[in-house]
Chain A
Amino acid sequence: MTAALRFDPIRLPEKCEQLRKEVRAFLAEEIAAGTFDPHKPNREDTDAPEFSRRVGAKGWLGMTWPKKYGGQERSFLERYVVTEEMRVANAPTRRFFVADRQSGPVLLKYAPEHIKMEILPRICRGEICFAIGMSEPNSGSDLFAAKTRATKTDGGYLINGTKIWTSSAHIADYMIAIFRTSPPTKENRRHGLTQFLVKMKQPGIKVNPIGQITGQYEFNEVVFTDFFVPDDHVLGEVDGAWKQATSELAYERSGPERFLETYYVLTELVRAVGPNPDTRSAEGIGRLVAQLHTMRRMSVSVAGMLEAGKEPVVEASIVKDIGTVWEQQLPHRVRDLAAFVEETATNRETLERQLDFAIKTAPKLTIQGGTTEVLRGIIARGLGLR
């Protein structure tokens, strides 16, 4: 085979089912206590610091990390279960999600020991929030066009420039960002960028909120003016960030959050349709469930590859491509079917309010964390076309 793409049928082990019960019970308690409303994904304030601490206290943050950094040394499949249950319940995960999925693993791999000892346990306790500083006003998908400069000075670097579309920067305690330490070379335009750990909420950093078309303010412009970063906050190789960026992608791109973002409208449609659907509704729901099931199987399969120590970058890109296109179309397909729902359905208003929000959310899903076009380029490279 040219492609040799494999998605072996991975089954979640028994211990995952016990964990799933615990997560569901925990979330039910949180809902009962009024922490969040699972039927309302469109809350204005998505930050929930106390909830974050309670999730940390359960041992569900940094689950796969070494115990000496506050982790639990549990498997990726167990982390998968926690992630998908939180997502399906519409739990407010914003404060800890990026740190748990992405920033922690980067620190584990590239940060000096004393930084790991200082920060990782705090992530595990749900105390701190991370942002990712990649895009700039003139560099989005073209990551290696980044211009924000890190200029060497005594004991560290001075940062000048602007990051943009930075989710959670307004609440974040830290950012992991790439800055330009050298110009690109003729041979390698990816050369010259370095990954840094940035402590937020300091003089020299200005965070400007940007309104999104959903009405929320989740992403920001972050302006650095002579902001000092000490030497020990360099993550990995100076000028060599391009070598480090790809290994993150498999984690970032294949999780359940890549197809469950608008899932709630499907649940609500099933509720509105009731136990005796007409043929059209049944057929529509059946197809959507079959597609959802298939993506989950693919996504679990990639989690199994990660657990086995592989770097399934192409497989993860396929999951994100198919998954995000699906979750983007989902509210529109549900809307098609909702047109036939009885006026008397008791949850009609909830469904309509959710559809309103999901339809406004949909355009971002195939852009954030790697656009469809970038993903298809990666898949094409995996097929030997580039």
Chain B
Amino acid sequence: MAESDNIVVETAEKIFADLADPQTINNDKKGAWQAPLWQALSEAGLPLSWVPDDLGGSGASLADGFALLNAAGRFAVAVPLAETMLAGWLLAQAKIASPEGEMTVLPASPKDRITIEADGSLSGRARGVPFAKTAKHFAVLAHGKDGASIALVDAGKGRIESGLNVGYDHSDTVTLDRVQPITIKPAPKGVDQTTLMLMGGVARSLQIAGALESMLDISVRYSNERVAFEKKISKFQAVQHNLARLAGESAAALAAATSAADAIANANAFDDAVYLEAASAKIRCAEAAEKGGAIAHQVHGAIGFTMEHILHRYSLRALAWRDDFGSESHWAVELGKLVATRGADELWPLVASR
């Protein structure tokens, strides 16, 4: 991603550097850093990047928003930036204006379904919803007899069972029981639950890729500082080769995620080729989170296993992000089915389609 020539990313990186320094926020057990960070991000219009001006947002391009998510991954920021961006994007698809404050999207898992009752209220259960606990509003993809609709819901109307993912961020179960939405409109053609999952999956892929870049960075730095057997551990070939593999995983994640983002940003529709890009990104980035994270920890030894060290802020979040908007297992099955349906001789044309 072109971070240097992108004003949205530059703005965000400056805010992250000032207010989300990983060592500082890791030492702050009470989370006092969260409010000022969110305020600064909001004042810069970043959470509503994907919302056009006339719907209350800052109207950045899809590409700029994706680059922003990659940067957010590099800082492993634990505020609902990605979630609010996705919610704003979803609402904007149905020309619903975004309110101020934190938002998240439901459902956040391809298997969950929110339905529209006969009286227009919404019911259903959504598991693993990131930051539901702190959200003021939900952007909801719901299904009724006339197909998919998009709704804005007051978060206070849902029942929330609080939970934490492996990265210690909120991942909650939200139950809607005949909740009247603030606004509900039909989803435009081509926007359905799969579209939402693919968008969410690409967002998570970019965040994972960003976290891996940082894991590579701090692992290389650490290996050049730590001395064992009277030399820097970076001079041991076994360590060098592990770090080379981490660089490969980081590069693969970045390539898959930025390619998928680019494909969506330039697509007219979510066709098979875009589906391949987005599903592949989530699968490959999730694999990289596992393999790359394990190497980063191996290089750090015991210190990286402590709460005091910042490594877990990246490694555990990258692992947690695998689960959101469809795990790699889910997307692998779906992609495998798509490939099988198209047939053996249509596999290569799909892979080579751009």
Contacts and interface: CB of A to CB of B under 8 A. Distances in A.
Interface in B311-354: 328-329, 331-337, 339-341, 343-345, 347-348, 351-352, 354
B336 A322 contact: no
Contacts of A101: none
B316 to A, nearest CB: 21
B94 interface: no
Contacts of A284: 332, 336
Contact of A5 (B250, B341, B354): B250
A156 to B, nearest CB: 41
Contact of B251 (A5, A85, A291, A296): A5
B133 to A, nearest CB: 32
Nearest to B331: A286
B258 interface: yes
A289 interface: yes
Contacts, number: 182
A11 B260 CA distance: 12
A2 B221 contact: yes
Interface residues of B, number: 58
A139 interface: no
Contact of A290 (B220, B250, B280): B280
Contacts of A383: 216, 220, 243-244, 247
**Dominant SS among interface residues on chain A:** helix
Contacts of B351: 289, 292-293, 296
A15 to B, nearest CB: 14
Interface string A122-144: 00000000000000000000000
A282 B337 contact: yes
A277 interface: yes
A276 B337 CA distance: 7
A286 B354 contact: no
A32 to B, nearest CB: 15
Contacts of B217: 1-3
Nearest to B234: A385
B106 to A, nearest CB: 25
Contacts of A281: 336, 340
Nearest to A11: B354
B259 A9 contact: yes
Given A3-B216, A293-B280, A380 B244 contact: yes
Contact of A286 (B216, B335, B344, B352): B335
A268 interface: yes
Given A286-B334, A287-B332, A385-B234, A270 B339 contact: yes
Nearest to B252: A294
Interface string B202-227: 00000000000100110011011000
Interface in B269-307: 276-277, 279-281, 283-284, 287
Interface in A356-386: 373, 375-377, 379-380, 382-386
A282 B340 contact: yes
Contact of A385 (B243, B258, B262, B334): B243
Contact of B220 (A3, A6, A279, A376): A3
A119 interface: no
A277 B337 contact: yes
Contacts of B159: none
A283 interface: yes
Interface in B178-219: 213, 216-217
Nearest to A299: B255
Contacts of A318: 247-248, 251
A271 interface: yes
Nearest 4 interchain pairs by C-beta: A282-B336, A286-B332, A286-B336, A271-B344
Interface of B: 2, 213, 216-217, 220-221, 223-224, 234-235, 237, 239-241, 243-245, 247-248, 250-252, 254-256, 258-259, 261-263, 276-277, 279-281, 283-284, 287, 328-329, 331-337, 339-341, 343-345, 347-348, 351-352, 354
21 contacts: A2-B217, A9-B255, A9-B261, A9-B262, A11-B262, A268-B344, A275-B340, A282-B336, A283-B332, A286-B332, A286-B335, A286-B337, A287-B287, A290-B256, A290-B279, A290-B331, A292-B351, A294-B255, A295-B252, A298-B251, A376-B241
Given A294-B255, A379-B244, 6 more contacts: A3-B220, A88-B352, A266-B347, A268-B344, A294-B259, A376-B245
